Structures are given as C-alpha cells and as structure tokens.
Amino acid sequence: MAKATRQSFGEALARLGAEHSEIVVLDADLSKSTKSDLFAKKFPERFFEMGIQEAHMIGAASGMAFSGKLPFLCSFGAFLTGRYDQVRLSAVYSGANVRIIGTHAGLGIGDDGHSQMGLEDVTLMRVLPTMGVFQPMDDAETQAIMDYLVKQYKGPAYLRLTRQTMPDYSDKAAPFVAGKLRKVATLGTGAKTLLAIGSGAGVAEAMGAAERLTAKGYTTHVVNCHTLKPFDSKGLMELVSSLKPSQIFTVEDHSVIGGLGSCVAEVLSENGVGVKLTRFGCQDQFGESGEPVELFEKHGFSAAKIAEKMA
Amino acid sequence: MSKPTAAELKKLSNELRVHILEMITEAKSGHPGGSLSAIDAMTALWFAEMQGVPQGAPDASRDHFVLSKGHAVPALYAILAQKGYIPFEELKTLRRTGARLQGHPDRVRLPIVEASTGSLGQGLSVACGMAMAHKLSGSKSRIYCMVGDGEIQEGQIWEAALSAPKFELSNLCVILDNNGGQIDGPTDEVLSLKPIAEKWRAFNWEVIEIDGHNFDQILGAYQKARELESKGSKKPVFIIANTVKGKGVSFMENKIEWHGAAPKAEDAKRAIEEVRKNG
C-alpha cells in the first residue's frame, strides 16, 4: 500500500523489534516525524528519547553498538549531516554497527523549506569509507531493506526516507536484491531506447517521464537504485551493454553533486561509456518552501520536466 | 594479585612516563603535556580499579575505558604495553605508516581501544552509550571516561552532561584531567570553564574534586564513585582531577609549548633522567 517510506520504516522497526532484542532506538525529539514512535510504543524500555541532541545521540548510539546493541538513530537527514563529524569519527571510523536513519529527504517535504530538507546527505554519507547508503522507493522495498539491515548487514549504514507517500512499484518490479540495481519497468515500444535510473522519490518521477515519452517514440527502461553505496557498477555496465540506450538519465530528490547522478557518471566515465547522461535533481541550488509537486517542477525534475528535456 | 598500594602505583606511573617520553621522542611527534598530566589517574584506574581483561569485544564481565581526550593516547599505549596487551616493542611504531598505534585512538586497528577519538568532545557521548547499553542489559560493568579541561569547552560535552543524569548512569565515572592548558594558552585565558564543579553539580552529577597526582586521593575518588553506585545513587560521577600539564618533567610542567611537541633526543634524555630520579 502506498505509504511514506518513513512510515514503512517505523512499521518495519516495530515488527523487527519483536524478534531482535538487540535493537535499540534513539531519537532526538522527532519520533512522531521519523516514525520511530511505532517502536517506542511497543518496546519503551529499548527506546531512548535523547532530546534535541543529535551530536550526542550519534555518539551514544555508537557506544551502544560497541556494547553489543543494534542501534537505530533517527532524525531528519539534514540534522544528521549537520553533525557530520560525529557520524564520521564516533560512528563510521570507529566501525560502529549502527543504522543512521535520515528522514525528510529532499524537496519532497515541501512547506518546511530548506533547513529541514536533506539535500546533501547521500553525498556526505557516501564519501565515508565503509558506510552503506540505502534509499527505498516504496513500502515493500523499505521493509526489504530493513530486513537486510537487521538480519545481514554489518557496519555503519545510512537509510534515507521520505516524508511524503510513495507509490508502490515493488509488486511489478524485479525481486529486491540488496546491493543490486532493480528493474522496475520498461515503458514504450519505440525505436529510441532510454535508460532511466531513479532512487527514492526519483523513481516515481522517472516512471512518469517514461510514460510521457512513450508517445514520442521512446522505449524507456526504468531502474531503481536502492543501494547507493556500495553502488552496483557491474549491474549498470550490464544494463548499458544489454539495452544499448541512446541516452541515460538519473532522477533524485537530492543534489546532483555527489548523489545518484554522480554515482552513475563515475561508473560510465571510468568505463569509457560514451552515452550522454543527464542528471535530474537539485542543480546546485538550495531547497525552499512550497508544494512538493511545484518544487519538483521548479527544480526541473518532475516527470513532465524530465520528459520535456529528454524528448 | 593484590591491589597495588598508592606508593607502588606512583612508582609504576613514573615508569610509564618514561615510556610516554620515549615513544613520543621516537615518533618525533605527539602530545607529552596532556599524556603526562593524565597518566597518574589512568594508572590508578587500570592497575587498581578497573575489573576484567579488555578484549575489544562487548563483554559484560569487565569494566570499560574511553579516552575522550584522544591526544593523550601515548599514556594509554604505555598502559596497554605494561598490561601485556601490546608488546613494549610496538610502542616504537607510534604514528608510523601502517601502525596500530595511530596518533589518536583507533578502535578498528587496535580493538583494545574502546572508542576512536581525537575530535574533542565525542568520547563522552560514546561512553554514555556504553553505560546505557550495559544498564539496559543489567550488566555490572562500570564505564570510565577521561576528558580534558580544554575539551569540555566543546558543546557536545554539555549535551552529554545533560543526558547522562536523565538515564541515571551511575555506572559512568568521568575523570577530568584538569591541567589548565590548551594549545593556544592557559584554559582560563582561552575560554574559562570556572566554576567547573558548580556547573557539573548543577547538571545533576556527583562531583568529587582531587589532586590528580595524589594516589591516595585518586584511589579514594574511584572507591567513592563505586560506593555511590552500590549504595543506590543514580547520579553519574564527575571527578575533577587537578593536574599539572607535563607533570614529572620540570622543564615541561605548565609549559604550553609542550602540549603537542616532541622533545629532541637531548631534551628527552634529560626528561627521562629526571623522571627516573623521582621514580
């Protein structure tokens, strides 16, 4: 069912908390927004309300990880990157087995504006050695990533989640495999082939663009990147050689500098792929208040804007 | 093995001072001032107070130590060597390429070190998290954390100061190496922290103030902290150890220039001779 991925996260956490007594959850006065409150209600003794202290929360979660717990620390992505040195040293450099949950990704949060929008978090988290970076596109994928992060993944990981509702694509998409690009759909039967790669809220915009492009003679293969790090370089190269797209585009509700667009650009250029790449997302601009739909339009990564540019 | 006496600890601490000076001299860089001020409280902690054997893996059967003032890590390395956890020979590798003995504590390369620190203000939060986890698990472990006085200018320290009493971390004992100096000058001039004890009391900590080079007082403070917990106190403990930066080497004592400078061979020789004479 279409849900905000933060909601799916909260539900997954409450579900997994029952079987995994090592899970502890920390929140800095945003549990109703991050949806960690769903865990808090079920397991109050394992929920730590830290107050408005993100820096301390990151350190405390790391210490709990060193003492055998599996901490999920939750806040808005923007506030976590704001305490970057704590993420960098206390958590990641220390090898802490922590799950850092950054909700309120991108322009999609709308009205609250720039200060609350995580627009640089993928870039900053991705640059840290050993850090895993994940971003689900919908409810089912959030559940799958949460299972993976609890049952299999070891080390520090960052999970980026939306405030707004995400349409469901998982049921029709290829099965979820952690670390692998995931085919969502192929739209159109035209002779001109495009490869669209979206992440998070970008998947829905890529799908919308692909739909619009069918009328213009395009076949668009839409792929979802839920694991931004480690990035599936091999999978991307396989897609490029099997689909032979005339153009590639990426869509993300995030800065194109260092985000998904950069991940793809790095792989394409390092492998000598001479296919034109267009990166849709925030183009080196700050976020702002407004309706998400209007903001996506204004910043050029709504389905309509993408289709217009790619056609 | 019976608990060492104050006199035995004093002698041992001076031997460790020699190792500190030797390794920093060999590395040609490091922080002698804060290592020499911290070593007495740390020696007492590791050789007379902390229970169990550090292994790096989570273990409810032992006490834990976080060196939040990470630049004093030569003091910790000297202790780890004396304890037999690392070879004395390895002390010569301090700060060398590929060494486990990084310039600041690194719990991935050297898991006996419990937290990677060096960006000041962070280790106390990590120690709080350890104390929270152990409390949740019902473990009897005690968590010790050493902070520097310059370090407590960091805002994150005061986040931790506010947080630890909320979670009733009576298993947490913080030692302030109050040596009065930092890189840019005397702490009172750079950014005064006074009144320190009143601040921490106001944050609902149990505060004990001692001479950080008097082993009877150091041991007494640790014992009191442990007793407070066993008697049901819910407060974390903050021990203000008043110390002398560069303690034990007269030409380094209270001299800011020895905060982060390695002695030349000749100076090191003089320093070690003096420490040995007093040991």
| Average pLDDT score over residue span B45-70 | 83
Q: How many Å lie between the alpha carbon of B182 and the closest alpha carbon of chain A?
A: 21
Question: CB-CB: which of B116, B136, B167 is closest to A89?
Answer: B116
Question: Nearest residue of A to residue B167 by CA position?
Answer: A48
Query: Phi and psi for B66 in degrees, rounded to 5?
Result: -120, 125
| Band of pLDDT at residue A252, cut at 50, 70 and 90 | very high
| Band of pLDDT at residue B54, cut at 50, 70 and 90 | low
Choose from B61, B108, B124, B132 for mutation: most chain A CBs within 10 A.
B132
Chain B contacts of A55, Cβ < 8 Å?
A: 125, 155-156, 159
The per-residue pLDDT for B208 is 98
- The yes/no answer on whether domain A3-165 falls in CATH 3.40.50.1000 is no
Instruction: Tell me the angle at which helices B215-230 and B6-27 cross, rounded to the nearest 10 degrees.
Output: 110
B211-242 per-position pLDDT tens digit: 999 999 999 999 999 999 999 999 999 999 99
| Average pLDDT score over residue span A196-201 | 98
Q: Alpha-carbon distance A259 to A120, whole Å?
A: 8
| Band of pLDDT at residue B64, cut at 50, 70 and 90 | very high
For chain A, percent of residues with pLDDT exceeding 90: 100
As a whole number, the mean pLDDT across chain A is 98
**Of the candidates B71, B26, B69, B99, which has an alpha carbon nearest to the alpha carbon of residue B262?**
B26
* Residue B52 in this model has a pLDDT that exceeds 80: no
Could B126 and A60 be called an inter-chain contact, meaning their C-beta atoms sit closer than 8 Å?
yes
**Domains by residue range for chain B, with CATH:** 6-278 (3.40.50.970)
Report how far apart, in Å, the C-alpha atoms of A195 and of each of A122, A182, A303, B168 are: 22, 12, 15, 55
**Of the candidates A56, A284, A253, A150, which has an alpha carbon nearest to the alpha carbon of residue B129?**
A56
Question: Nearest residue of A to residue B133 by CA position?
Answer: A64
Structure tokens of B36?
């020499």
The per-residue pLDDT for B1 is 55
A54 is catalytic: yes
Dihedral sign of CA atoms A269, A271, A272, A274 in order: negative
A46-67 per-position pLDDT tens digit: 999 999 999 999 999 999 999 9
The per-residue pLDDT for B55 is 57
A124-147 per-position pLDDT tens digit: 999 999 999 999 999 999 999 999
A207-245 per-position pLDDT tens digit: 999 999 999 999 999 999 999 999 999 999 999 999 999
Catalytic residue among A54, A141, A205, A252: A54
The per-residue pLDDT for B58 is 55
Q: Alpha-carbon distance A97 to A230, whole Å?
A: 16
Are the C-beta atoms of residues B279 and B37 closer than 8 Å to each other?
no
Q: Where are the domains of chain A?
A: 3-165, 182-310
The reply to whether A182-310 shares the fold of A3-165 is: yes
* Residue B99 in this model has a pLDDT that exceeds 80: yes
Fold of A182-310: Rossmann fold (3.40.50)
**Cα B24 versus chain centre, distance:** 17
Q: Is the ipTM of this complex over 0.85?
A: yes
